[in-house]
Amino acid sequence: MSFIARVYAGLSWLRREVLSQFSGKVAIALLVAIVAVSIYAAATMPSNYNVIWNYPLYWEANPKNSPPEWSTYFGTTCLTNQVYDLRTATPRISVDEEGRVRLTYNMTYTLDVKSYPRALILIVDSMTIPANVRNVRVLNTIVKPDGKQIQVFDDLVDFTKNVTAGSFKFTQTFRPELDKIYNSLLLNYINYNIDPNDVGVNYLSYIFGEITQPDPKSTARTTYLTGRYVISLTLDFRVEGVAQELLLRSIKNAARFEYVVVGTCYGLMGTDYQGRDLAMGLLYGFPIALLIGLGTALMSTGLGLLAGMVSGYYGGFIDEFIQRFIDVLGSIPLLPILILVAAAAQTAFGADPNKPVLMLLTILGVLVLFGWGGLAIVVRSMTLSIKSELYVEAAKSIGASNFRILIKHILPQLVPYIAASLVYSTPNAILTEAGLSVLGIYHGLPTWGGILAEARTQGRVEYWWWIFPPGLLIAITSLTFVLLGLALEKVVEPRLRR
Amino acid sequence: MSEPKLVVEGLKKYFPIRRGITEALTFKPPRYVKAVDGISFEVFEGDVFCLVGESGCGKTTTGRLIVRLIEATDGRMRYKVSEELKNQIPEDLLQDGKYVDLLGKLPKNVDKALRKDTQIIFQDPYGSLNPRMTLKDILNEPLQVHNIGASESERLEIIHRALSEVKLTPPEEFVDRYPHMLSGGQRQRVAIARAIILNPSLVVADEPVSMLDVSIRAEILQLMLDLKAARNLSYVFITHDLAVANYICNRIAVMYLGKIVEMGITDKVIGNPQHPYTQALVAAVPEPDPKNRLRIKEVPIKGEIPSAANIPSGCRLHPRCPYAMDICSKEEPPMVEVEKDHYVSCWLHTKK
């Protein structure tokens, strides 16, 4: 009890001392913010996050390489991503005597900027199809503001092969079909000279644009057409027997059933080359960064402390062995070793679903292994000087064990130094991880360094939303710990105080 | 006469000198600092046995050897164990039924019990107390190490009693203080309390008053004598100050360069010094007679004490001795009894 009270008193003294300095105040404020965000992120992080991040299908409906939505305030023409969640929408239902169930969804889409959407996509993920459903025809048409109707796709999906026993989970994406679009363009614009190759490349401008042809001999051109579009989606199920209620329920319970008009801007922080939400990557990067920083720092500091104390206190052969081992470690070049280890881990964990996590742990393990030597040397020399203090001899003459002397007399004097070293080596680990990622020693987890590394491999400097935020977060986190270290240093070393 | 509490025979402590690479390559024999080079003495029960000598003569090393802070190179150190301690010691380690060789290999529990029975008070009360611990923690440590006291409150009571015994009263006021809140004398009292709290029977006091203010030396010395009487202690008292030795000791040994040169009852050694070195030490003590204040005293020996790594041959004093003869540089003088309980190691007193 008295021990806890003493630790508490020590901590509150430390807090008071740190807060009495400007750098300490800034550091504590930043640290509280970082820890709060980390706790929030860790609490809301999906359990299979590392799998989701590296699963392209999950991000399919997102625009690729898109700036954040707020970039419109800086003059970018910005078309927001429009997602229609059809699970909650109410379809028009018609059932005919042949057993067809036809669900029709009507969505309105207002295009108010001079831009074309990037893509159209219907995503069906894990929709339970009852056993008596034979097939479904999925039909999508868009009615332009000027009344012209374009067919986007018309697909027939056969379930008879899949539904053998019970029900079946249906997952598929539907995309525009060029021949359907071209055919309906021909039907609607009879006297226009439409180039099929241009439709093939720029079909979205034919769907969401005004088609003009001033001169009968030239080819048709498209311009922006703002206004209200009506998107109509029809699911035509061929059913044996009655299944209307069952179908509606399985639509409601599907993992995803949405129609997306892909915009040119996305979310709070934009997207990367796979359409991944960078806001998510940055948010979940907080706990990972803290884990990397504090974990590596704690382990290498702990190892250095232990080795230094044992080396300094016991001396002799153990001392010589540990010190020479540190010399050897220090003379091994870290970077080639890391590249080799990363390459080896890449093949070793190839099939594991948790490969990114294992890779990261391996890299951190190497960092810890090579990171404790310097501290051990300093702790050893401090231990040597404390060991020869008279009160240590007094404890020995009492009959105190070596362990007791180490814990009660030597460790308390090392603690302030260790705390400062811990705080300083935390940003070191975060920075090293980021640097290694950029160098290509990359584990695949969405760390800030990892996001930066992918920006580099994609090589697009103009994607500022992809480069600046992770860079800034790394810098701010490092700054926090460096400021904290500065404040702690003044507490530990009173001569630095003015 | 009481029995000897501690019998030291041929005690040696050599510290090896780190060899340079040329010395190692040319296979020169390793060199040593011979801090203590074969000394023998006896400490009787109830004794205050003094070791005196100038800096570097090996007296502190001897003290540290007795409480086994360092390992001896050679020699025997037989220690008389009390009746209650005897039960904890296996039969085969006991010599004459009550003596244990402290330098022999001892089982862990015996070693711990013997450490409890021999304690040390250091010279520097500023260094011997951990500045980060309160007096309660400092005095609690020996109790915790030896599992004394069933509960925290019982231990606190023992601590209070020890503090009042060294006249730090009221103890409640002192237990939560840190060493820096105390004066030098008070700190030394705490160090004494730490030494006696385990109820030892032999205490080594390594210059316990030489770093204290002159005004409180006598108080501390008197406290130590009181404790000796109350707790039936024996002291090995190390000092360089003959005045202090004269005040507190009943037996004295004068050391020079790792050897005892003169030994015996204090009054006989100081009142009638036989060895030239002892004579010089006695002559160096300031005289309290104001009439002699202008007279410059002639100190018979000259020069500095030689390095313990490079000891003169024969009698160690011969390069500085005014009475040096031929034999002095060739052979070491044996210890001879010049009168009852008064021994000298000098060729002047050896009958040829």
Q: What is the pLDDT along chain B (352 residues), one digit of tens a residue?
A: 578 899 999 999 999 888 777 877 887 788 888 899 889 999 998 889 999 988 888 899 999 999 999 999 999 999 988 888 888 888 888 887 788 888 888 888 888 888 999 999 999 998 899 888 889 999 999 999 998 888 889 999 999 999 999 998 898 899 988 888 899 899 999 999 999 999 999 999 999 998 888 888 999 999 999 999 998 899 999 999 888 899 899 999 999 999 999 999 999 999 889 999 998 888 888 777 788 777 766 777 778 888 888 888 888 888 888 888 888 888 889 999 988 889 999 888 886 5
Which of A180-184, A236-240, B328-332 is the least confident region? Answer: A236-240
A253 with A284, same domain: the answer is no
- In which domain, by residue range, is B291 found? 4-132+178-349
Q: Which residues of B touch A413 (CB under 8 A)?
A: 132
* Set of chain A residues whose Cβ sits within 8 Å of the Cβ of B67: 397
Please tell me whether the peptide bond between B170 and the residue prior to it is cis, using omega within 30 degrees of 0: yes
What is the pLDDT, as a whole number, of residue B228? Answer: 92
The mean-pLDDT minimum among A164-168, A182-186, A372-376, A473-477 falls in A164-168
Chains A–B, number of C-beta pairs less than 8 Å apart: 51
To the nearest whole Å, the CA of B69 is away from the closest chain A CA by: 6
A173 with A232, same domain: the answer is: yes
Question: Rg of the Cα trace of chain B?
Answer: 22
Pair (A101, A241) in one structural domain:
yes
CA pair distance A291, A2, nearest whole angstrom: 31
Q: For an interface test with A, give the residue of B114, B122, B124, B130 to mutate (most A CBs within 10 A).
A: B130
Residue A404 has pLDDT above 80, yes or no: yes
Do A177 and A288 lie in one domain? The reply is no
Q: Which of A203, A237, A262 is the last residue of a domain?
A: A262
Query: How confident is the model at residue A166, as a pLDDT?
Result: 66
A394–B145 C-beta distance less than 8 A: no
Q: DSSP 3-state assignment of B192?
A: helix
- A→B contacts (Cβ < 8 Å), by residue, are 389-391, 393-401, 404, 408-409, 412-413
| Average of per-residue pLDDT across A295-323 | 92
pLDDT tens, position by position, A459-481: 777 888 888 999 999 999 999 98
Q: Over 80: is that where the pLDDT of A10 sits?
A: no
In angstroms, the CA A457 to CA B109 distance is: 67
Which comes out higher in pLDDT, residue B169 or A312?
A: A312
B290 domain residue, yes or no: yes
Query: Which of B111, B129, B141 minimises the CB distance to A398?
Result: B141
State whether B145 and A391 contact (CB < 8 Å).
no
> Nearest-CA neighbor of B67 among B196, B198, B205, B190?
B205
Q: What residues 83-122 of chain B have any CB closer than 8 A to a CB of chain A?
A: 111-112, 115-116, 119-120, 122
Determine the Cα–Cα distance for residues A59 and A121; give it in Å rounded to an integer. 12
The pair phi, psi for residue B36, each rounded to 5°, is -130, 125
Residue A15: band (very low, low, confident or very high) from pLDDT cuts 50, 70, 90 = confident
CATH number at residue B25: 3.40.50.300
Give which of B71, B123, B128 to mutate to test A binding, by max A Cβ within 10 Å.
B128
Inter-chain touch A393–B128, beta carbons under 8 Å: yes
Q: Is the pLDDT of residue A1 over 50?
A: no
Which residues touch B142 (CB under 8 Å, ≥6 apart)?
Answer: A398, A399, B116, B148, B194, B197, B198
Bridge partner list, A256: A125
Tokens 């090393």: give the residue.
Answer: B61
Half-sphere exposure of A448 (CA within 13 A, CB side): 30
Cross-chain Cβ contact A391/B124 below 8 Å: no
The reply to whether A169 and A216 lie within a common domain is yes
Interface contact flag, A398 B122, Cβ < 8 Å: no
**Minimum distance, in Å, between the CA of residue A336 and any CA atom of chain B:** 36
**Cα separation of B67 and A396, whole Å?**
10
Number of domains in chain B: 1
Do the Cβ atoms of A398 and B69 come within 8 Å? no
Do A243 and A303 lie in one domain? The reply is no
* Residue A493 scores a pLDDT above 70: no
Residue A388 corresponds to which amino acid? S
Residue A180 has pLDDT above 50, yes or no: yes
Total domain count, chain A = 2
Which residues on A lie below 8 Å from B127 (Cβ)? 389-391
Q: Which of A42-46, A53-57, B251-255 has the lowest mean pLDDT?
A: A53-57
Supply the range of the domain harboring residue A22.
Answer: 9-52+277-496
Q: Residue A397 and residue B129: Cβ atoms within 8 Å?
A: no
- In this complex, the residue of A391, A398, A401 whose CB is nearest that of residue B142 is A398
Query: What's phi and psi for A122, nearest 5 deg?
Result: -115, 125
Q: How far is B154 from chain A (nearest CA, A)?
A: 16
Query: Which residue of chain B has the CA closest to A403?
Result: B145
B318 in a structural domain? yes
User: Does B271 reside within a domain?
Assistant: yes
Per the rule left: phi > 0, alpha: psi between -120 and 50, beta: everything else, A99 is left
Shared-domain flag, residues A306 and A354 = yes
Do residue A287 and residue A402 come from a single domain? yes
B25 vs A259, which has greater pLDDT?
Answer: A259
Picking from B112, B115, B127, the nearest residue to A390 by CB comes out as B127
Residue of A nearest to B199 (CA): A398
Of A390, A398, A409, the CB nearest to B145: A398
| Residue A390: closest C-alpha in chain B | B128
Residue A272, CA atoms < 13 Å, CB-side half-sphere: 28
Task: Note whether A400 contacts B124, CB cutoff 8 Å.
Answer: no
Asked whether residue B28 is assigned to any structural domain, the reply reads: yes
What pLDDT does A494 receive?
59
Q: Is residue B281 part of a domain?
A: yes
